[in-house]
Amino acid sequence: MENFEVGILLMSVGMITVFVILLIVIYLGKGLIILVNKYAPEEVIAKKQPPTHSSGSNPSLPDATLAAIVAAVGVTTEGKGKVIKVEKA
């Protein structure tokens, strides 16, 4: 019976130790996130306004590129797909 009590004691101490170490890791991680966000904030990149064109085609897109896109869509969809508009994402 003494071995059983020692086993339960060791298991309890081990589980409590793991739990405490995990809590330390969690709070250190949260602290690091707060510290990094305070002293090295993410740069804000201004988005460019997309040009509005009256026609559906993209004037900066070469004709050869547009033809390649249309051909790729045609082959991939076996002629069922149709390219309506091409724009940069």
What digits encode the pLDDT tens for the residues 44-74?
A: 777 776 555 444 555 677 788 888 888 898 8
φ, ψ dihedrals at 86, nearest 5°: -120, 120
pTM over 0.75: no
Q: How much of the chain is in helix, strand and coil states, percent to nearest 5?
A: 60, 0, 40
φ, ψ dihedrals at 78, nearest 5°: 55, 45
Domain ranges of the chain: 1-42, 57-89
